[in-house]
A and B are shown apart, each in its own frame.
Chain A
Amino acid sequence: MNAPNSFRAQPDERGHFGDYGGRYVAETLMPLILELEREYRAAKSDPAFQAQFDDLLEHYVGRPSPLYYAERLTDALRENATDGMGAEIWFKRDELNHTGAHKINNCIGQILLAIRMGKTRIIAETGAGQHGVATATVCARFGLPCVIYMGAKDVERQAPNVFRMKLLGAEVRAVQSGAHTLKDAMNEAMRDWVANVHDTFYIIGTAAGPHPYPELVRDFQSVIGREARAQMMARIGRLPDLLVAAIGGGSNAIGLFHPFLDDPDVQMLGVEAAGEGLEKKHAASLAGGFPGVLHGNKTYLLQDEDGQIAEAHSISAGLDYPGIGPEHAWLKDIGRVEYTAVTDDEALDAFQLLCRTEGIIPALEPSHAIAAVSRKAREMRQDQVILANLCGRGDKDIFTVAHALGVAI
Chain B
Amino acid sequence: MSRLSQAFTKGHAALVTFVTAGDGDTPAVLDALVAAGADVIELGMPFTDPMADGPAIQAANIRSLVAGTTTADILRIARDFRARHADVPLVLMGYANPMVRRGADWFASAAKEAGVDGVICVDIPPEEDEALGPALRRSGIDLVRLATPTTDVARLPQVLDGASGFVYYVSVAGITGLQQAAQGSIEDAVARLKAATDLPIAVGFGVRTPDQAREIARVADGVVVGSAIVELVAAHGRDAPAHVRTYVEGLAAAVRAARKELA
Binding site for A on B (CB under 8 A): 47-55, 58, 62, 65, 70-71, 95-102, 122-125, 127-128, 131, 145-152, 155, 159, 170, 173-175, 178
Contacts and interface: CB of A to CB of B under 8 A. Distances in A.
A292 B174 contact: no
Interface string A10-35: 00001000000011111111111000
15 contacts: A23-B128, A24-B123, A24-B124, A30-B150, A31-B152, A183-B49, A191-B53, A194-B174, A194-B175, A293-B96, A293-B131, A303-B97, A306-B70, A306-B71, A308-B97
A229 B170 CA distance: 49
A27 B125 contact: yes
A27 B128 CA distance: 11
Contact of B98 (A27, A183, A307): A307
Interface residues of A, number: 36
Given A293-B97, A294-B97, A28 B48 contact: no
A197 interface: yes
B97 A309 contact: yes
Q: Most chain-B CB neighbours within 10 Å: which of A28, A194, A294?
A: A28
A194 B101 CA distance: 25
A26 B51 contact: yes
Contacts of A301: 97
Contact of B100 (A23, A31, A307): A307
B52 A191 contact: yes
A197 B173 contact: yes
The 8 closest A-B pairs by CB, nearest first: A307-B101, A195-B174, A307-B98, A293-B96, A307-B97, A28-B148, A309-B48, A27-B146
A294 B70 contact: no
Interface string A339-357: 0000000000000000000
A296 interface: yes
A195 B175 contact: yes
Given A23-B125, A194-B51, A194-B175, 12 more contacts: A26-B51, A29-B150, A178-B49, A195-B173, A195-B174, A195-B178, A293-B123, A293-B124, A294-B97, A306-B98, A309-B48, A309-B97
B134 to A, nearest CB: 15
A307 B149 CA distance: 30
Contacts of B100: 292-293, 307
A250 to B, nearest CB: 19
Contact of A308 (B54, B65, B128, B148): B65
A247 interface: no
Contacts of B50: 187
A190 interface: yes
